[in-house]
C-alpha cells in the first residue's frame, strides 16, 4: 500500500476511541439486559464487532500491527429468536460431513447390500456398487442417516463437522414446498436452538490440556520433585 493510501494517525486514534465507546455500550447493554435474547445486547455486540474490525484494519494499514483479540463477525452469530411463542410446527435441519477414508470397505459393504437385494444368479443384478459414488447411493438408500452416523467406521467413513438446527413455524409447510431447496428458506430469527460438532473444538481442548501439562512439568521442575532424593532425605533424617 502506498503512503498516500495509508490512513492517518488521527484516523487510527478515532477508530480506537470508537472501540472504547462500543465496548462501554456493550457492557451497559449487558448490565441492563431484559432476557437471554435481548435485542439491545445483540445490537451492541454487532457494533462492537464492527468497530473492532475497523480499528484492526486501520492499525495494520498504518503501523503493520494487529490487535491481540478477535471478535466473531456479526454474521456468524444468530439474531435473537423472533419466531412464534407457541410454534405449531418445527423443522430439523441436519448436515453431517464425512471423508471416504477406506473406499474398499465402503465398496464391500455396498456390494453385500446389493447382493441381498438382487438375484445375481438370474443375471438381473445391478452393478451400482462398483463405484464409490454408486456405493454411497446404495448405503444411504438402505440405511437411515442416524444408523450410518453410528456405524460410519464400518462403512469406511470418517466423521467431519456436523450441525443441527431446530427452527419453529406457525404452520407446517405444504407438501413438496421446500424439497427443491431445503436449506434456502431458513429464517435465522426462527432458529430455536443450534448444536455444532467440530474437530476445531477438540483441537482447542487438546491445546488447553498441553498447556496444563506444560505448567505441571514446570511446577515439578521448580519444586525439584524427585522421588529418590526425597527418600534419601528421609533416611538421613532417621
Q: Return the pLDDT at 227.
A: 45
Higher pLDDT residue, 235 or 203? Answer: 203
Domains of the chain, residue spans: 3-76, 89-201, 204-237
First to last CA, the chain: 75
Phi/psi at 151 (nearest 5 deg)? -120, 25
Higher pLDDT residue, 185 or 98? Answer: 98
CA 191 – CA 197 distance, rounded (Å)? 17
Mean of per-residue pLDDT scores for the chain: 81
Mean predicted confidence (pLDDT) in 192-218: 67
73 half-sphere exposure, CB direction, 13 A CA radius = 2
Q: What is the pLDDT of residues 32-84, one digit of tens each?
A: 988 777 888 888 888 898 899 899 999 999 999 988 876 655 445 677 788 89
Mean predicted confidence (pLDDT) in 101-127: 78
Q: Return the pLDDT at 82.
A: 86
Mean predicted confidence (pLDDT) in 97-116: 94
Mean predicted confidence (pLDDT) in 25-31: 94
How much of the chain exceeds pLDDT 90, in percent?
Answer: 47
Q: Count the Cβ atoms, other than its own, within 10 Å of residue 146.
A: 10
Q: Return the pLDDT at 4.
A: 53
Mark out the alpha helices in 38-159 (DSSP H runs): 39-63, 103-117, 132-142, 145-150
Higher pLDDT residue, 152 or 226? Answer: 152
pLDDT of 122 strictly over 80: no
Mean predicted confidence (pLDDT) in 118-137: 71
Q: Return the pLDDT at 183.
A: 85
Q: Return the pLDDT at 30.
A: 93
Higher pLDDT residue, 236 or 192? Answer: 192
pTM for the full model?
Answer: 0.54
Higher pLDDT residue, 19 or 229? Answer: 19
Band of pLDDT at residue 188, cut at 50, 70 and 90? confident
Which residue carries 467440530 as its cell?
198
Mean predicted confidence (pLDDT) in 195-206: 72
Amino acid at each position: 500500500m502506498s503512503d498516500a493510501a495509508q490512513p492517518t494517525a488521527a484516523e487510527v486514534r478515532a477508530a480506537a476511541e470508537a472501540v472504547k465507546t462500543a465496548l462501554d455500550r456493550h457492557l451497559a447493554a449487558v448490565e441492563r439486559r431484559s432476557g437471554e435474547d435481548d435485542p439491545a445486547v445483540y445490537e451492541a455486540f454487532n457494533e462492537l464487532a464492527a468497530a473492532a474490525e475497523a480499528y484492526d484494519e486501520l492499525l495494520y494499514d498504518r503501523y503493520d500491527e494487529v490487535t491481540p483479540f478477535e471478535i466473531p463477525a456479526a454474521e456468524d452469530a444468530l439474531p435473537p429468536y423472533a419466531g412464534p411463542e407457541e410454534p405449531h410446527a418445527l423443522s430439523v435441519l441436519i448436515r453431517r460431513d464425512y471423508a471416504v477414508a477406506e473406499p474398499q470397505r465402503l465398496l464391500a459393504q455396498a456390494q453385500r447390500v446389493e447382493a441381498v437385494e438382487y438375484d445375481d444368479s438370474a443375471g438381473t443384478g445391478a452393478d451400482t456398487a462398483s463405484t464409490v459414488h454408486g456405493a454411497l447411493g446404495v448405503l444411504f438408500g438402505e440405511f437411515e442417516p442416524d444408523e450410518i452416523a453410528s456405524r460410519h467406521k464400518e462403512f469406511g467413513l470418517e466423521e467431519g463437522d456436523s450441525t443441527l438446527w431446530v427452527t419453529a413455524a406457525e404452520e407446517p409447510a405444504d407438501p413438496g414446498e421446500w424439497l427443491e431447496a431445503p436449506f434456502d428458506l431458513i429464517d435465522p430469527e426462527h432458529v430455536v436452538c443450534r448444536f455444532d460438532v467440530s474437530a476445531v473444538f477438540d483441537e482447542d481442548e487438546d491445546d488447553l490440556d498441553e498447556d496444563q501439562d506444560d505448567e505441571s512439568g514446570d511446577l515439578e521442575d521448580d519444586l525439584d520433585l524427585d522421588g529418590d532424593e526425597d527418600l534419601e532425605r528421609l533416611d538421613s533424617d532417621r
